[in-house]
Structure 1
Amino acid sequence: MALDLFVVLIYAAGMLVLGYYGMRRAKTHEDYLVAGRNLGPSLYMGTMAATVLGGASTVGTVRLGYVHGISGFWLCAALGAGIIALNLFLAKPLLKLKIFTVTQVLEKRYNPMARQASAVIMLAYALMIGVTSILAIGTVLQVLFGLPFWVSVLLGGGVVVVYSTIGGMWSLTLTDIVQFVIKTVGLMFILLPICLYRVGGWDQLVAKLPASNFSFTEIGWDTIITYFMIYFFGILIGQDIWQRVFTARDEKVAQYAGTFAGFYCILYGLACALIGMAAHVLLPNLDNVNNAFAAIVKASLPDGIRGLVIAAALAAMMSTASAGLLAASTVLTEDLLPRLRGGKQSSLNINRLFTMLTGIAVLGIALVVNDVISALTLAYNLLVGGMLIPLMGAIFWKRATTSGAIASMTLGFVTALVFMFKDGLDANTPIYYSLAVGLVSFVVVSLLSRRPEASVARAI
């Protein structure tokens, strides 16, 4: 494994070097948070796709493919569809606002109190997005190199925290492009073909797996619908994704390059599901299906090539981890910290400090959570359950009020937490009940409270 470890170390060093170059380009507050709002098609497409396809999308989809067959691709399909919808229909009005956070939309439509309340929910979501991918990094390094889990988390996650802190969005953009190329080559053009070859080709894969594994609905319609309820709508309102939209040079870049990124996500999901299916044939008796990705990499690839594929997996995970980390830090410095500082806006140095502190918090949480899909589900349940209804209402319903928005956010968030605790993170009830409670409370309280002024209602 020495050669593999050397390849991974070279990759990690490369990320830190790119982080340094990002630091040199991040000279202003706007550079640090949204890369100066000046990304062209190639950079935008790469960073958008890299942001979405992280630890849960890679490790999680391989696990779903191992258990459910080709239908495991629906997780990535829901994410990809969300990316397409966001860039086609919402990017144009978002770019005109010249804002930094999702919650600023709520302030424009309602009032500062709505922004503060939603910022707490968005912070919880962004933190868990970072945790999800740090967990995946730790799992891969632990299985492949035999490191203690806590060491794997601190080493892999530490690289993410360092390059994110020093250069902000410019570091993330530069590292995302390299990560996008590495994971495309490593997973889609190396690991997938080798896995199929080890199985004996496509015909042998079909012969050795039950026919149900090749059904696109094997995972169940209820799960497919839940994925779209959680991940499709989560993409539409997530700070980590909106912050990438804000980096586009103009609306055309966002619409065309963003749509391409969405279709790429769907193809990536199909590739990961097929890798999981091949892993089921080659390693049918895994003790822990969460380790399916790491196990198939360890068992099927030669030295050196294995290191490249490990780097590809780490690329996917680090891109999403850094996105969640910067999103959480941005919510803190743009939405919550000014409230404590009498409205004073954050500086570049304050941004760096809070990105570092947020990174330390993410590493700490990752040491006590142990399931990447569950962590991702937790994040999106809280986000969609708490914020989808008031945010969509802010855009499409003129009669919506601040009281209705805050009631919806609070009750939706609490309902999601209660049903996740009651029925488990894998249950469908948290998202369904939180949306139902959020919708009813939003409409009822808005109708019973004072109608907003027309000038405010036209802010969005």
Structure 2
Amino acid sequence: MAVLDWVALGGYFVVMLLIGVWSHKRVSGVSDYFTGGGRMPWWLTGISHHMSGYSAAVFVAYAAVAYSYGITVYIWAFVPLAVGTGVGAIVFAPRWNRLRRRYGVASPLEYLATRYNISTQQALAWSGTLLKVFDVAAKWASVAILLNVFTGMAMNTGIVVTGVVTLLYCTVGGLWADALTDFGQFIIQGIAAVAMVVVVLGKLGGISGVSTLWHRLPDHHTEPLVGPYTATFFTAYIVIKIFEYNGGMWNLAQRYMATDSPKSARRSAGLSAALYVIWPAFLLFPSVAAPVLLPHVADPQQVYALMSEKYLPAGLVGLTLAGMFSHTMAMASSDANAISSVVVRDMMPVLSRRARGMSERAGLLSARICTVVFITLSMLVAIEADHFGGVLGIIVALVAAVMGPISIPLLLGMLPAFRKCGPRAALISWAAGLAGYWIVKYGMGSADQTAIIVTPLVTSLVLYVVVGLVSPEPNEAADAIVVAVAPGGDEGAAAAGRIPVPADEQPLMTRAED
């Protein structure tokens, strides 16, 4: 890279750290650290939700699919995100916000202790935390691949550099730092992506070149679903993303919780859904066009980086690399914040009685320590990413497949139609879904991505519903939560003031802010 490229990249890192320092002043307690104190504007949480929803894998793994298969990557990978987030704007986003406003919860899993029981909460907390270590590891590996192409930096060094910078700003600033850096990253990434699209269009002969591009692409590259990406895979992916992007990916639930009202949460989700329709098309266009411009790339995962080096002028290369960093750092920092909220609010109080009565200062210190530990573990896994199927193998085969069993009890537990599905239904669906994944992936040795994705999802969903119908577990406290988070539920639960839990479990819950 040229000197101007290094200046652009270095400036990006400095701005991220300064935002972290500024955000540190806004964090005075656990609620500020995990949910921004419920004071974030809807447009900021909407952009943050969007930026935290994907990483540099867009420029590595998904770019490779675009280069090898064409526009199908937009159809199966990003249309489901728009659909899932759009559904969430109506169904789930307002409910997450009411949970925080009504009961003062600061963790997405905090309400599960009462909705089901402690055992269910802990099962989802431990398995979800382990899954997130692998998920974020894939993101570090993606950035390391890009750094290697641009600068020649060793993979392991790239993982450590990116992880440490993210660690510094998100540890001190909490969710405020995450959201504000997401916004800054959105601007930087936007400038870089638009510049890349303009350059590629110029190489194709201008805007008119788009109309002829489709005839110059390899066979099947203009088909919406092709290769391993079948209609069944696409349908299953939509269902998975409905769960994942509305709470199953815990950090995204925090964005809804951080707004000031259910209406703002709904607008936040709507903005994110709109961005998922528009923005990935810009990001993926250069990789879709790459077979025409660079027809003989040995490693498709490097195609976006190679195009940036070949076509962009000095300065813009560094800015493009910064834009690629932005998605990964946005997702990883928000994941780290979500995981630390689950550990501090849901896991530590069960493991230690002392943790149930922690002061605000002790809670903040614990949150920051958990953030450090989580990011460090994910970097160690990233160094060994190839042993887990590479970047796309982790994102699709592992994360997408296992997300269903973890998120189905979490999300459906808020809906009235499933109010009689108790801890028995939740635990059976969770365990059977994970077992289904293990059997198909390792017991049968299947390489069929559709089977790997569909089996755990369908198993968990069917068993959750069937067990709830066959063996209902009525629970007044659980019913009160379902009613309170429904539209109009604020008034219906006004007298409660807090989640009704047994006296010996009350230290696990926080009092309502109002």
Normalised-by-shorter TM-score class: over 0.9
Paired with 1:326 and 1:223, the residues of 2 have a C-alpha distance of 31
Matched, 1:156 2:162: yes
Moved more, 295-304 or 306-315: 295-304
Aligned partner (choices 170, 179, 190) of residue 173 of structure 1: 179
Assess if the C-alpha contact under 8 Å between 2:233 and 2:454 holds in 1.
Answer: no
Q: Please state how far the C-alpha of 1:319 moved relative to its aligned partner.
A: 0.6
Instruction: State the distance in 1 between where 2:214 and 2:400 align.
Output: 34
Shift of 1:214: 2.4
**Corresponding residue for residue 93 of structure 2:** 91
Q: Which residue in 1 is equivalent to 2:149? A: 143
Query: Equivalents in 2 of 1:285, 1:211: separation in Å?
Result: 16
In 2, are the aligned partners of 1:412 and 1:434 still within 8 Å (CA)?
A: yes
Contact preservation (8 Å) 1:60, 1:290: yes
Please point out which of 204, 210, 229 is paired with 1:199.
204
Q: Distance in 2 between matches of 1:410 and 1:196?
A: 50
Equivalent AA in structure 2 for residue 453 of structure 1: N
Aligned position for 2:378:
362
> Judging changes above 3 Å, is the alpha-carbon distance between structure 1 residues 393 and 38 closer, same or farther for their aligned structure 2 residues?
closer
Whether 2:39 is the aligned partner of 1:38: answer yes
AA paired with 2:239?
M
How large is the RMSD of aligned CA atoms in angstroms?
Answer: 2.2
Matches within 5 A, 1:109-124: 109-124=115-130
Q: Does the C-alpha gap of structure 1 residues 249 and 450 become closer, same or farther in structure 2, counting only changes over 3 Å?
A: closer
What residue number does 1:430 align with? 452
Matched-pair contact (CA < 8 Å) for 1:61–1:269: no
Task: Determine which structure has more spread, i.e. the larger CA radius of gyration.
Answer: 2
Residue 386 and residue 292 in structure 1: after superposition, are their counterparts in 2 closer, same or farther (change >3 A)? same
Shift of residue 186, structure 1, vs aligned partner = 1.1
Q: Distance in 2 between matches of 1:164 and 1:424?
A: 39
8 Å CA contact 2:259, 2:265 repeated in 1: yes
Structure-2 residue corresponding to 1:8: 9
- Note closer, same or farther for the CA distance 1:432–1:42 as it changes in structure 2 (3 Å cut): closer
TM-score, normalized by length of structure 1? 0.93
Contact 1:135 1:372 in 2 (8 A): yes
**Structure 2: distance between partners of 1:222 and 1:291:** 29
Paired residue for 1:232? 242
Q: Secondary structure at the match of 1:242?
A: helix
Deviation of 1:264 after TM superposition, in Å, equals 0.8
Task: Report whether the alignment pairs 1:220 with 2:230.
Answer: yes
**Which runs of no fewer than 5 residues in structure 2 stay unpaired?**
483-514
3-state DSSP of counterpart to 2:432? helix
Within the candidate set 138, 144, 162, 1:132 is matched to: 138
CA deviations on 1:22-60 (whole Å, 9 max, x unpaired) are 112112111111111111133122211111132234433
Q: 2:293 is aligned with what amino acid?
A: L
Residue in 1 aligned with 2:495? Answer: none
Work out the CA distance in 1 between the residues paired with 2:447 and 2:145.
20
TM-score by length of structure 2 reads 0.84
The structure in which a higher percent of residues are helix is 1
| Superimposed CA distance per residue, residues 85-114 of structure 1 (whole angstroms, 9 cap, x where no aligned partner) | 222221222211112233223223111111
Q: Which residue of 2 aligns with 1:331?
A: 342
CA-CA distance at 1:211 after TM superposition: 6.1
1:135-168 CA-to-partner distances (Å, cap 9, x unmatched) read: 2111111111111100011111211111111111
SS in 2 for 1:213: coil
Partner of 1:73: 74
Deviation per CA, 1:65-104: give whole Å up to 9, x if none. 2122122112122122222222222122221111223322
Shift of residue 347, structure 1, vs aligned partner: 0.8
Q: Does 1:458 align with 2:460?
A: no
Q: Say if 1:124 and 1:380 are closer, same or farther in 2 by CA, change over 3 A.
A: farther
- Sequence identity of aligned pairs in percent? 22
Contact kept, 8 Å, 1:129 with 1:324, in 2: the verdict is: no
Return 314-323 or 425-434, whichever deviates more.
425-434
How far the C-alpha of 1:419 sits from its partner, in A, is 2.2
User: Residue 256 of structure 1: CA displacement?
Assistant: 1.9
CA contact (8 A) 2:94 2:256 kept: no
Q: Which stretch of the first structure deviates more once superposed, 62-71 or 225-234?
A: 225-234
- More deviation, 114-123/444-453: 444-453
The 2-side partners of 1:212 and 1:275 are apart by 17
The counterpart of 2:188, out of the listed 170, 182, 188, is 182
Counterpart check, 1:386 vs 2:412: no
Q: Would you say 1:59 and 2:60 are equivalent positions?
A: yes
Q: Which residue of 2 aligns with 1:264?
A: 275
* Alignment check: 8 A CA contact 1:73 1:269 kept: yes
Partner SS, residue 428 of structure 1: helix
Q: Is the 8 A contact 1:126 1:240 kept in 2?
A: no
TM superposition shift of 1:170: 1.2
Q: How many residues align?
A: 459
Q: CA deviation at 1:125?
A: 3.2
1:417 aligned onto 2:438 = yes
- Determine helix, strand or coil for the equivalent of 1:279: helix
Could you tell me how far 1:233 is from its partner in structure 2? 2.6
Match of 1:308 in 2: 319
The one-letter amino acid paired with 2:164 is G
- Unaligned 5+ runs, structure 1: none
Of 290, 293, 296, the residue aligned with 2:304 is: 293
Aligned equivalents of 1:232 and 1:132: distance in 2? 21
Superposition pairs of residues 334-349 of structure 1, within 5 angstroms = 334-342=345-353, 343-345=356-358, 347-349=363-365
Q: Are residues 81 and 292 of structure 1, via their aligned partners in 2, closer, same or farther at CA, if it must alter by over 3 Å?
A: same
Letter in 1 for 2:449: A
Deviations 1:366-394 (A, max 9, x none): 11114322222212321213331564155
Give 1:269-280 correspondences, 5 Å limit: 269-280=280-291
